[in-house]
């Protein structure tokens, strides 16, 4: 079996660590793992396959002999480092927003548009976490019935903001338990016991950048003709994004057929039995690879309407797993490891 030198940029972050874990759990054929991060983290150790690997500095020269570089270091770092890595011969799979809407860069969900990888120029973009799980669930329905409109409200975990947000939610819970005033630094308001309809910056059109990511990425990945109306909300959950999705299709849907399509779709798990109170929650998705779908019901208020509830692990399928799956597709398509 061919094996590959794999770099993980941002290896000390939440998504970087999940990338390392996912590579190991899925048995990706790694000849050498190369964890990279900022200079302050250089020399620290990460575990991979039971052995310690030393964290290096993500900089020019660090990608020599690297076959695949999985990036989770933020847009600013990716803007500088991804072209360097590609120039040094690595295929970059970038988890930031930097390259997603670049017309020269494929934006890929392997269950949805793997053929977009053909002809890549060395940099591949990982979509936004909320977009990924939505499109994994909607792809089989779109293929069969052609979706024309999506209305989606997201309920997103604090881990989507990063380690500081996870710590802030935990600290607020501790402060509440002690009867102390709750402090908020990462978010503009207290997140504990709250829901903030505000993810990323507000734009001139009144939507947030997070919401417009879902619009633009759906157009690039699935179909530019679909109308998308999103509302993105942050909730006090550590891990796992949930989405309430309403769709309208061109053709009338048969609910039993929709269930069959979803049950057979790659990466989807249907959990939908109201009589048994069976529906997916963020805790059910924690650490899981699948996108979970439930609360399937026809919408009688519009022609050809359907409501659904979609849950996924934002660090897993929403980030690390999707990147690793892209690497797996590249390997199947014949990415040649560099001669050593």
d(CA 297, CA 7): 44
Strand, coil or helix: what is 18? helix
d(CA 234, CA 294): 21
> Which one of the listed residues 129, 142, 198, 219 is annotated catalytic?
129
State the pairing for strand pair 305-312/291-299.
antiparallel
Told to judge if 241 belongs to the known catalytic residues of this protein, a careful annotator would answer yes
> Which one of the listed residues 5, 120, 142, 241 is annotated catalytic?
241
Told to judge if 129 belongs to the known catalytic residues of this protein, a careful annotator would answer yes
Strand, coil or helix: what is 137? helix
Cα distances from 87 to residues 67, 156, 287, in angstroms, run 12, 36, 34
Pull the structure tokens for residue 104: 């020269």
Pull the structure tokens for residue 117: 């990888």
* CB within 8 Å of 229: residues ≥ 6 apart: 149, 150, 151, 152
d(CA 68, CA 66): 6
Cross-strand partners of 331: none
State the pairing for strand pair 51-54/45-48.
antiparallel
Catalytic residues: 129, 241
């Amino acid at each position: 079996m061919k094996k590959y030198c794999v770099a993980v940029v941002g290896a000390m972050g939440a998504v970087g660590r999940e990338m390392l874990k996912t590579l190991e759990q899925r048995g990706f054929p790694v000849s050498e793992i190369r964890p990279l991060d900022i200079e302050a983290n250089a020399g620290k150790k990460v575990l991979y396959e039971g052995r310690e690997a030393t964290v290096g500095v993500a900089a020019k020269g660090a990608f020599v002999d690297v076959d695949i570089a999985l990036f989770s270091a933020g847009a600013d770092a990716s803007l500088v480092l991804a072209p360097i890595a590609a120039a040094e011969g690595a295929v970059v799979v970038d988890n930031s927003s930097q390259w997603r809407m670049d017309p020269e860069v494929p934006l890929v969900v392997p269950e949805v548009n793997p053929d977009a990888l053909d002809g890549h120029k060395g940099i591949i973009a990982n979509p936004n976490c909320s977009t990924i799980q939505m499109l994994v669930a909607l792809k089989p329905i779109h293929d069969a019935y052609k979706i024309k409109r999506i209305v989606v409200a997201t309920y997103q975990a604090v881990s989507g903001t990063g380690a500081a947000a996870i710590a802030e939610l935990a600290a607020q819970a501790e402060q509440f338990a002690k009867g102390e005033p709750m402090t908020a630094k990462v978010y503009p308001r207290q997140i504990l016991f709250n829901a903030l309809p505000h993810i990323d910056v507000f734009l001139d059109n009144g939507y947030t950048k997070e919401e417009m990511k879902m619009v633009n990425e759906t157009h690039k990945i699935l179909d530019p003709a679909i109308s998308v109306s999103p509302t993105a909300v942050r909730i006090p959950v550590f891990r796992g994004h949930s989405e309430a999705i309403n769709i309208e299709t061109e053709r009338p849907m048969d609910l039993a057929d929709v269930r069959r399509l979803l049950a057979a779709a790659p990466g989807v798990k249907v959990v939908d039995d109201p009589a048994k109170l069976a529906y997916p929650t963020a805790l059910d998705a924690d650490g899981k690879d699948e996108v979970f779908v439930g609360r399937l019901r026809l919408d009688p208020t519009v022609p050809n309407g359907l409501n659904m509830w979609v849950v996924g692990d934002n660090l897993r399928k929403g980030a690390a797993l999707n990147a690793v799956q892209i690497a797996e597709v590249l390997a199947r398509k014949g990415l040649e490891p560099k001669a050593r």
